Amino acid sequence: MTTSRTTPRSPRTAVVVGAGMVGLATAWHLQRRGVEVTVLDREGVAAGSSWGNAGWLTPGMAMPLADPTLWTYAPKALLDPAAPLHVPARLDPRLWSFLARFATHATQRAWDRAMAALTPIDRLALDAFDELAAHGVAARTTPGPFMIGFEHEKQAAPFLHEIAQVEAAGQVVPLRRIDRPDGAAPLPGPTHPDAGRAPGASDAVGRPAQLTDRVRAVYALEGQRFIEPGPYVGALGDAVRARGGRIVTGATVTGLRAQEGRGVQVLVDGQDPVVADVAVLATGAWLPGLAEPLGVRTLVQAGRGYSFTVKTDLPVEQPIYLPSRRVACTPYQGRFRIAGTMEFRGPDEPFQPRRIDAILASVRDLFQGVDLDDRHDEWVGSRPVTPDGLPLVGATRAPGVYVAGGHGMWGMVLGPATGRLLAEQIVTGTVPQEIRAFDPLR
Ligand SMILES: Cc1cc2nc3c(=O)[nH]c(=O)nc-3n(C[C@H](O)[C@H](O)[C@H](O)COP(=O)(O)OP(=O)(O)OC[C@H]3O[C@@H](n4cnc5c(N)ncnc54)[C@H](O)[C@@H]3O)c2cc1C
């Protein structure tokens, strides 16, 4: 079944607000379908969350954030300022309303429902990167494997359980135990019979030299990839320009006016409005300001994460994940990017150096040969988090105005597939099955 809440005729022009991964992927796909595109950003390409993130293209891990374990770690986190999850102690009705709704989704039933809704787009995600590469986006994706480290076997149980649930929902997620620090024989334990045959699977993967002996259980996750996020989104922007698209930076959008059959007027601070047949709001964690007046009531809260890069004694070839510390690391420009924390604050609030300290304190005993004191590129970015763990992709109440966002922890991996599916909806008027659950008016 399809629903149609789109413009009656196929649009010829579009304005996309937001030049992050999601906005640019949508612009690129609209162009591919013959639509002339203007992209507006208040700062520039990849100025938001799409820059300093971990760059993991891991559909096998793209799952809802709220899960039943929230009830175990959240109360402790509220009392511990160094915990990976951080909520400032302040009276902020909007924030607490978000947290209350988020908490109602931390049940197994809600998680299963959201996972079922995410699985169809998760399954398209990597193919959507191949499509970009095949048609002119000059940036590469790199296969894993991803190295997942635990201090003891019991600590691995929740992660293994999550991966098993992702598989039960319909993805193939090859994961195997690779070694033990005492040199004992590898313990292969594929969660799926296809393990080792996944695209990009490596025959011989060893324990990363950067992990200390405290990390006693290491798993290799295959079939996933990673990118250097800022450069990748830059290349996507170049591809949009190369096809004749305009990317206007320093253009802060303040509102939209839409009238049935007469297109959309996009109001830009201090500049003339930009008029087009349709408009797409892809403003990440800043979505509510523009989208709420158009009937999008789902709260989008900035889940701020921090990252920095460091030098390592030996080159790092693969991403490393430390689930118990909630830290994700990725090779980046010859260095090693370390990313973590989930801080529920406003997207424009100042950088909090204490969050970097918290990441450092959490990994010091697990890394060796990593110079944690020589940090470059310290960064904070805002994941656009929704309470139910589902993105907001589709039409708003205003004719010809769409939103694309709210991907939370997974906007990089899901951005290209989102762009493809939303462009299809905008041009054909038919909502693809994969994004039906992401209706922004839900
Ligand atoms: C530490 C960290 C690690 C992460 N790791 C991963 C990962 O490994 N894999 C993954 O898939 N995802 C990851 N994410 C999440 C991912 O970064 C986001 O989901 C994704 O970048 C969201 O992209 P977006 O295009 O929706 O938003 P953004 O990239 O934030 O882009 C929004 C754009 O809108 C612009 N804008 C805002 N308001 C206006 C306005 N009024 N007018 C004009 N322009 C405006 C902003 O300047 C910005 O450029 C991570 C996030 C963080 C913080």
DSSP 67-115: -TTHHHHHHHHHH-TTSSEE---S--HHHHHHHHHHHHT-SHHHHHHHH
Q: Which of 408, 399, 407 has the alpha carbon at shortest distance from 426?
A: 399
Q: What integer pLDDT is reported at residue 91 of this predicted model? A: 84
Q: What integer pLDDT is reported at residue 81 of this predicted model? A: 79
Q: Within 10 A of 98 (CB to CB), how many other CB atoms are there?
A: 21
* Single pTM value for the model: 0.94
Pick the CATH number of 139-225+301-385 from 3.40.50.1470, 3.40.50.150, 2.60.120.380, 3.30.9.10: 3.30.9.10
Strand order, beta sheet including 253-258: 253-258, 264-268, 274-276
Which tens digits make up the pLDDT trace of 263-297?
999 999 999 999 999 999 999 999 999 999 999 99
Q: What integer pLDDT is reported at residue 201 of this predicted model? A: 44
| Cα torsion through 96, 80, 322, 385, rounded to 10 | 10
* DSSP assigned state of 217: E
Q: How far is the CA of 97 from the centre of ligand 1 (A)?
A: 22
* DSSP-based three-state secondary structure for 430: coil
Long-range contacts of 137-140 (CB under 8 A, 24+ apart): 137/28, 137/235, 137/236, 137/239, 138/235, 138/238, 138/239, 139/227, 139/228, 139/231, 139/232, 139/234, 139/235, 139/236, 140/227
3-state secondary structure 121-134: HHHHHHHHHHHHHH
Q: How far is the CA of 386 from the centre of ligand 1 (A)?
A: 13
Q: Of the given ranges (51-55, 195-199, 225-229, 296-300), which has the lowest mean pLDDT?
A: 195-199
| Cα torsion through 304, 310, 312, 316, rounded to 10 | 40
CA atoms of 195 and 351, how far apart (whole Å): 41
More confident residue, 239 or 76: 239
Q: Does residue 183 register a pLDDT over 80?
A: no
Nearest CA owner, ligand 1 atom 3: 53
Q: Kindly give the number of the ligand 1 atom that is closest to the alpha carbon of 405.
A: 26
Q: Within 10 A of 181 (CB to CB), how many other CB atoms are there?
A: 14
Question: Which residues have any ligand 1 atom within 6 Å of their CB?
Answer: 17-23, 40-43, 47-50, 53-56, 252-253, 282-286, 305, 307, 328, 339, 381, 383-384, 405, 407, 409-413
Beta strand extents in 270-391 (DSSP E only)? 274-276, 278-281, 301-312, 320-322, 327-332, 335-344, 370-385
Q: What integer pLDDT is reported at residue 2 of this predicted model? A: 43
Q: Does residue 226 register a pLDDT over 90?
A: yes
For the segment 213-240, the average pLDDT, to the nearest whole number, is: 97
Q: What integer pLDDT is reported at residue 195 of this predicted model? A: 39
Per-residue confidence band for 198, with pLDDT thresholds at 50, 70 and 90: very low
* DSSP-based three-state secondary structure for 301: strand
The overall average pLDDT reported for the chain is 92
Q: Does residue 189 register a pLDDT over 60?
A: no
Q: Does residue 137 register a pLDDT over 60?
A: yes
Percent of the chain past pLDDT 90, that is, above it, reads 83
Q: How far is the CA of 361 from the centre of ligand 1 (A)?
A: 26
Nearest CA owner, ligand 1 atom 41: 253
Q: Does residue 221 register a pLDDT over 60?
A: yes
Q: What integer pLDDT is reported at residue 180 of this predicted model? A: 59
Per-residue confidence band for 79, with pLDDT thresholds at 50, 70 and 90: confident
Q: Does residue 133 register a pLDDT over 80?
A: yes
Q: The tokens of 8 are what?
A: 């009656």
Per-residue confidence band for 204, with pLDDT thresholds at 50, 70 and 90: low
Q: Does residue 3 register a pLDDT over 90?
A: no
Q: Which residue, chain included where needed, has tokens 């939209």?
A: 256
CATH fold of the domain at 2-52+113-135+229-299+388-438: FAD/NAD(P)-binding domain (3.50.50)
Indicate the top mutation candidate among 15, 22, 53 to test ligand 1's pocket, ranked by most ligand atoms within 8 A of CB: 53
CA atoms of 248 and 17, how far apart (whole Å): 10
Q: The tokens of 428 are what?
A: 């054909």
Using an 8 Å Cβ cutoff, are 233 and 45 in contact?
Answer: yes
CA atoms of 362 and 327, how far apart (whole Å): 8
CA atoms of 195 and 21, how far apart (whole Å): 30
Per-residue confidence band for 78, with pLDDT thresholds at 50, 70 and 90: confident
Percent of the chain past pLDDT 70, that is, above it, reads 92
Provide the residue ranges of all domains of the chain, joining segments of one domain with +.
2-52+113-135+229-299+388-438, 139-225+301-385
Q: The tokens of 233 are what?
A: 């989104």
Using an 8 Å Cβ cutoff, are 381 and 51 in contact?
Answer: yes
How buried is residue 9: exposed, middle or buried, by Cβ count under 10 Å (0-12/13-18/19+)? exposed
Q: What integer pLDDT is reported at residue 362 of this predicted model? A: 94
